[in-house]
Amino acid sequence: MTASKQRQATASENSLMRIFTVPEAPESTLSRIEQALSQDLAGFLTQNIAALEKPLSEIEKDFQAFEIPRQPRFVSDYTEEMMQNLVAHSVHTAAPSFIGHMTSALPYFVLPLSKMMVGLNQNLVKIETSKAFTPLERQVLGMMHHLIYGETTDFYHQWMHSANHALGAFCSGGTVANITALWIARNQLLKADDEFRGINREGLGAALCHYGWKGLAILVSERGHYSLGKAADLLGIGRDNIVSIATDANNKVDVDAMREAATKLARQGIRVMAIVGVAGTTETGNIDPLPELAELATELNCHFHVDAAWGGASLLSSKYRHLLKGIEMADSVTIDAHKQMYVPMGAGMVLFKQPELARAIVHHAEYILRKGSKDLGSQTLEGSRPGMAMLVHACMQIIGKEGYEILINNSLEKARFFAGLIEQHSEFELVSPPELCLLTYRWCPSWAQTALNRQLAQGNLEKVKEINGILDDLTRAIQKKQREQGKSFVSRTRIQPARYHRETVTVFRVVLANPLTTDTILADVLNEQTELAASETGLLQVLKQACC
Amino acid sequence: MTASKQRQATASENSLMRIFTVPEAPESTLSRIEQALSQDLAGFLTQNIAALEKPLSEIEKDFQAFEIPRQPRFVSDYTEEMMQNLVAHSVHTAAPSFIGHMTSALPYFVLPLSKMMVGLNQNLVKIETSKAFTPLERQVLGMMHHLIYGETTDFYHQWMHSANHALGAFCSGGTVANITALWIARNQLLKADDEFRGINREGLGAALCHYGWKGLAILVSERGHYSLGKAADLLGIGRDNIVSIATDANNKVDVDAMREAATKLARQGIRVMAIVGVAGTTETGNIDPLPELAELATELNCHFHVDAAWGGASLLSSKYRHLLKGIEMADSVTIDAHKQMYVPMGAGMVLFKQPELARAIVHHAEYILRKGSKDLGSQTLEGSRPGMAMLVHACMQIIGKEGYEILINNSLEKARFFAGLIEQHSEFELVSPPELCLLTYRWCPSWAQTALNRQLAQGNLEKVKEINGILDDLTRAIQKKQREQGKSFVSRTRIQPARYHRETVTVFRVVLANPLTTDTILADVLNEQTELAASETGLLQVLKQACC
C-alpha cells in the first residue's frame, strides 16, 4: 500500500461533487418550488395537491421500477416528475376542511427551522454528534415534565441535565413512547433480585420463573390504542394479555371492572405489570377516570401509564386542563407534539414521574454511551435520530403558553360548536359528544331516529341492528364519496355506543385541531354530506323500508 | 349546547392566527438565515458553528428554564437566540475534516426537498394520511431489496405493492431496523402450533413452555452493535443471551466458535433463534464471513440477519460489492440510508428476503390498518412517522447507481490512501486496516513500536500492557485536544487487536464517507496529531521510560 497521491478526479466525478458544494440556481425548478412553499404554504398545497382523488392502483403505476436507476438525473427533471407523481397525489393534511386527521396547518416558521435542522444533521444518540441539541432536548422534556407534574424548581435544577437521570425520552412517535413506558414497567417489576440478574439480562422466561408468576398482564380500556397490543407482542407479554376492560356510556374505562379483572388474574397467577389510562381515546376522544386508576395502580402495586399521545396537549390550556386531572399521578405519560402541539410529524415523547425510572432500560457501549456520559442514546429505544426536539422547542417558545391556551381552547370550543350544529340538524345524529376536540356522528335523519327509538323502546334489537346496518352502509358510502370529491374529509371508525346496546355502528370521526377551520367550513361539511346522502337513492329506499 | 355563531376572535387571537397563514417577511432574521443556508450550506455551517468548543456545562446554562414561557415570542428574537445558544454549539457533522462520524456533507437538494416533506406533513402509518407516499416508500424498499437480493422482474411486480406483503420496513434508524428483524425472527420461531396461539398472542413464557425450551439465544460477533443487546432486552430474550463470539485477527467472527457455542446452548436446552452477521462493524468496519454464517444458519434452522446499517451502502459499488458476498443469503438485512447513502438523519430500513416474513408481526386496528389495506403501519414497529423515504428516493434517482459507484469507490480508496499515509508515517501505527472506508490507528512513534515488538518477542506481556496503557492515555489526550481545537475531529474507541494478545487498546477511529475530504485534509489531521503528541511532554517522558 503506497501513500502516493490519489489519482486525478474525472469529469463525471467533478460534476457529481457539485451536488455537495454548489447550491441550486435561484431560477431552477426546485428553487422556484421552494420559494412558492415559503411565500404561501397553504396556497402551494392547494394548488399542487390534486383535488380529485386518483385510485391507489393508478398511482402505483408511477412507482413500478425496482432497480435503482443507472444514470444520474437532473434535479429539475426529478423535481418536476415528483410534483406530478408524488406531491399531486399526497394528502392535504393541512386543509382546514380536512377534519378527519390529527394533523393541522403548521406554523410557517417550522419550515425554515426544519430546513436548518436537516442542514445541521445532528444525531441525538450522543453528545459527540449533537452537543447543544442534547441539553435542548433535555429542556424540552423538562418543560413537558413540568407541564404534567409541576415539580419544584429544585427538582428540575437537580435532574433536568443529570447524566444518570431522565425526565423523559424523545422518540419518533406515540407508539415508541408507549413501548418505552411499558418496557420500563416490565423491567422495573422483574428487576434483579437475589441471585436473579434481572429480566434485562436473563430474559422473560427466567424472570417469570424466579418470581413465580405464570405471565404478565396489562389492563386497559377497550378503547386503548393498538400500539399497546404491539408493545405487548414486542415485549413478550402477548397480545392476549392486554386485558381489554369495558367502558361506560361515555367511553371511559369502568374502574370496578378493571379491579375485578385484576383479582381474577391474580387468582390465575398472572401478575398485572401495568394499568394504562387513556387520556383522549383515538376513536372518541374521551378521558379515563385517571385519579381512580392511579388509586387502583397503588392497590395493585403496579406501574400506571397514561397514553395522552393526542389529548396531552390539552394540558396547555389552564381552562381545560382539569379534564386530565390525575395525570400527575401517572408513573409515565405519552404525548405527541406532532398532534395538537403543531409540530411536524416525528415528535413523540414519554415523560417519567421519577427521574430514576429510565434506569431500568439503561445500556452502554464502548465507543459511545459511556457510563456517566450525558448521551441520550443510553436511555432511548431508538439509536441514531434527528434533532426534532428543536421544533418542539421553537413552538413552545414562539407560541408560548398564552398562544397554546388560545389554540387549545378554540379547538375544544369549536368541537362543542360543531356538536351543537349536528344536534340541531334534522339529518344527523351525534354519536359521541366531544370531551376534548374529537367527536363522532353519522347521517341519520329524524325519521330514522324515530324508528330506532321506537324499536329500542320495544326491545326489538334485531330490527335496530338491521337499521344500523343500512346506516353503516350509508356512512361508508358518504365518507368515501366526500373524500373522493376532494373538498373536505372526515374519517370514519366503528364504535359500540351504549344507546345501541353496544352493537357496533360505523360513524364519522372528526378532530377539530386545525386553527383555520371555520364555522362556515363545518356547516359546509354537513351540507355536502346531506347532498351525498340524498344521492344514495338505492340505500335510502332500503332504509325507508326498514324504518316503516 | 347551542349552535350559535362562535364568538368573535380577539386581537391576540388574530395575531396568533398569522403564524398559520402569513409567511416570514423576506427581510426577517429567519428568512435571511434560510437564504444563507440555501446559497452556501457549507459556508453557513462553518460561519455559524463555533470552532472552539464550549464545555457542555456552560452550554447547559442556556437551557435551564423548565417552564414553557407564558408570553409568545417574536420569531426573529427566538431565531437569533438559537443561532447563539444552539447552532453555534452544535456539531459540524458535515465538515470535511470531521472524519470521526458516520455523517457527511449532504447533497444540496435534500434541503429544499426536506422542507417540502415537512410542509406536506404526511403520516406514513396509513394510506389515508400519505397516499402516494405509500407506493413511493414501497418502491424505495423494493429498490433496496433488489440491490441486496436481485430477484426477478416477476418477483417485484408480484410483491412490491402487495397489501399483504412487505419487502422491508422503513424506520427511523438501524436500531429499530435490527429490533424489527429480531422481533420477526422470534415470532416466526415461536409461531402458533396446535393449541398454542403463538408468542404474539400468548407471550414468551407460554411459548417457551409449549416448545419446551429453557430460553432463546442470538449469536453474534463480539463486534456486534449495542442495539442487538437492546433488542434482546426489549424482546424478553435477555442481554446475557446475546452470545458474543470471538473474532479473528481481522475482526471477523469465528464461525467455528459460533458453531461450538450453538452446540453448547442446544445441550442446555437453549434454542438459537437467530445468528447475526455484521457487515461493517461500527468499530473497525470489517465484514463477517457471510456465506459461512448463512450455512450455519441453515444447519441450525434459525433466522440469519445481517446488520449492514453502515456497510450496506457499499453494495452500490459494482467494484466493491463482492466484499459483502453472501448478504443475499440473509433472511433480513439492516441498512441506514442516513449513513453512506447521503440522506439526512432518520432513514433506516430493514429488508426481508421473503415477502411473507413481516406477517409474523402484522397487526390491525379498527379505524386504520384494516385487513387487506396497504397501510404501512400494520407491518412496522413505529406508528405515525414522516415521509423520509422521499429523500432516499430523491438521492437514488438524482445520484443514480453511477453516482453512488463513484462516491463509494472514492470513499474506500480514500481510506486505503489514508492507511498508506499512516503506515508510511514514522509516528503512527495502523491498528485495523480498512476493509470498507473505516480504519483505526493511533499515535505510536517508531521507537515505541520497536520497544513493543521487542517485548512481544520476549513474551513480556506485562510490559506490553504498561506501554499500551501510556499510549492509551496519549490517544485520549490527543483526541480530546484535537476535538477542542475545532479544526478536525476523529473519534476514538477501544478494541482488542490480535497483535497485542487481545488486550484492550484505545485507538483513533476514522470514517472516510465525506466526498469533500481531500488528501491534504488527511495529511493535516496527522500533522495536527503529531504536534499535539509533542505537546504532551509529561506523558511522553513516561512513555520513553517505559520503552527503555
Task: For B481-521, give the secondary structure using H, E and C.
Answer: HHHHHCCCECEEEEECCHHHCCCCEEEEEEECCCCCCCHHH
Cα separation, B438 vs A339, whole angstroms: 40
Interface test with B, best of A12, A13, A19 (most B CBs within 10 A): A19
User: Quick one: closest CA in B to A37, which residue?
Assistant: B116
Q: B210 CA to chain A: closest CA distance, Å?
A: 12
Percent of chain B with pLDDT over 70: 97
Nearest to A272 by CA among A209, A219, A214: A219
A475 in helix, strand or coil?
Answer: helix
Residue A271 φ then ψ, to 5°: -90, 125
Which of A39, A88, A400 is nearest residue B70 as measured by Cβ atoms?
A: A400
Contacts of B390 in chain A (CB under 8 A): 82, 86
Average pLDDT rounded to a whole number, residues B497-519: 95
User: Quick one: closest CA in B to A227, which residue?
Assistant: B383
| pLDDT surpasses 80 at B501 | yes
A197 shares contact with chain B (CB less than 8 Å): yes
Residue A19 · residue B107 · CB < 8 Å: yes
A111 shares contact with chain B (CB less than 8 Å): yes
Residue linked to cell 430477484: B151
Average pLDDT rounded to a whole number, residues B283-297: 97
Q: Is the dihedral angle over the CA atoms B460, B462, B467, B472 positive or is it negative?
A: positive
Binding-face residues of A in 526-545 toward B, CB within 8 A: none
| pLDDT surpasses 80 at B536 | yes
DSSP secondary structure string for all residues of B209-228: HHHT-SEEEEEEETT--HHH
A56 shares contact with chain B (CB less than 8 Å): yes
Give the CA distances from residue A310 to residues A175, A410, A437, B23, in Å, rounded to whole numbers and listed in that order.
Answer: 12, 16, 10, 27
User: Quick one: closest CA in B to A85, which residue?
Assistant: B132
A446 shares contact with chain B (CB less than 8 Å): no
Q: Read off the pLDDT band of B366 (50, 70, 90).
A: low
B163 in helix, strand or coil?
Answer: coil
Average pLDDT value over all residues in chain A: 94
Cα–chain-centroid distance for residue B502?
A: 26
Q: Which residues contact A165 (CB under 8 A, 6 or more apart)?
A: A159, A355, A356, A358
pTM: 0.96
Cα separation, B473 vs B525, whole angstroms: 19
Contact B75 A110 (CB under 8 A): no
- Of A239-248, B287-296, B373-382, the one with minimum mean pLDDT is B373-382
B244 in helix, strand or coil?
Answer: strand
Nearest to B337 by CA among B313, B307, B308: B313
Span A411-441, pLDDT tens digits: 999 999 999 999 999 999 999 999 999 999 9
Q: Is the dihedral angle over the CA atoms B492, B498, B499, B503 positive or is it negative?
A: positive
Residue A346 · residue A382 · CB < 8 Å: no
Question: Running DSSP on this structure, what letter comes out for residue A144?
Answer: H
B421 shares contact with chain A (CB less than 8 Å): yes
User: Quick one: closest CA in B to A137, which residue?
Assistant: B63
Q: Is the dihedral angle over the CA atoms B498, B502, B505, B508 positive or is it negative?
A: positive
Average pLDDT rounded to a whole number, residues B340-356: 97
A21 shares contact with chain B (CB less than 8 Å): yes
Cα separation, A528 vs A512, whole angstroms: 18
Span A23-34, pLDDT tens digits: 878 889 999 999
Q: What is the dihedral of CA B114, B116, B119, B123, to 10 degrees?
A: -70
Question: Would you state the pLDDT for residue A369?
Answer: 59
| pLDDT surpasses 90 at B25 | no
Residue B140 · residue B392 · CB < 8 Å: yes
Which segments of A245-340 does DSSP mark as H helices, in order? 255-267, 290-300
B52 shares contact with chain A (CB less than 8 Å): no
Q: What is the dihedral of CA B506, B522, B435, A386, to 10 degrees?
A: 80
ipTM of this complex = 0.95
Q: Read off the pLDDT band of B2 (50, 70, 90).
A: very low
Q: Read off the pLDDT band of B110 (50, 70, 90).
A: very high
Q: Which residues contact B40 (CB under 8 A, 6 or more apart)?
A: A23
Q: A548 CA to chain B: closest CA distance, Å?
A: 31
Cα separation, B514 vs B341, whole angstroms: 11
Interface test with B, best of A272, A384, A391, A428 (most B CBs within 10 A): A384
Question: Would you state the pLDDT for residue B7?
Answer: 60
b/e per residue B246-275 (b: at least 16 CB within 10 A): ebeeebbbbbebbbebbeebeeeebbbbbb
Average pLDDT rounded to a whole number, residues A8-21: 84
Residue type, B445: P
Cell of B125: 402509518
∠ Cα B503 B504 B510 (to 5°) = 135
b/e per residue A367-389 (b: at least 16 CB within 10 A): bbbeeebbbbbbbbbbbbbbbbb
Residue B3 · residue A522 · CB < 8 Å: no
User: Quick one: closest CA in B to A367, which residue?
Assistant: B493
Which of B115, B157, B239 is nearest residue A34 as measured by Cβ atoms?
A: B115
Give the residues across from A492 on adjacent strands. Answer: A508
A402 shares contact with chain B (CB less than 8 Å): yes
Interface test with B, best of A58, A63, A158, A395 (most B CBs within 10 A): A63
A160 shares contact with chain B (CB less than 8 Å): yes
Question: Would you state the pLDDT for residue B421?
Answer: 98
- For residue B348, with 0-12 CB atoms within 10 Å meaning exposed, 13-18 middle and 19 or more buried, which class applies? buried
Nearest to A235 by CA among A207, A254, A262, A259: A207
Question: Would you state the pLDDT for residue A370?
Answer: 63
Span A128-175, pLDDT tens digits: 899 999 999 999 999 999 999 999 999 999 999 999 899 999 999 999
Q: Reduced to 3 DSSP states, what percent helix, strand and coil does chain B have, rounded to the nearest 5? A: 50, 15, 35
Which of A86, A93, A421 is nearest residue B136 as measured by Cβ atoms?
A: A86
Cell of A318: 389552564
B245 in helix, strand or coil?
Answer: strand
| pLDDT surpasses 60 at A212 | yes
A374 in helix, strand or coil?
Answer: coil
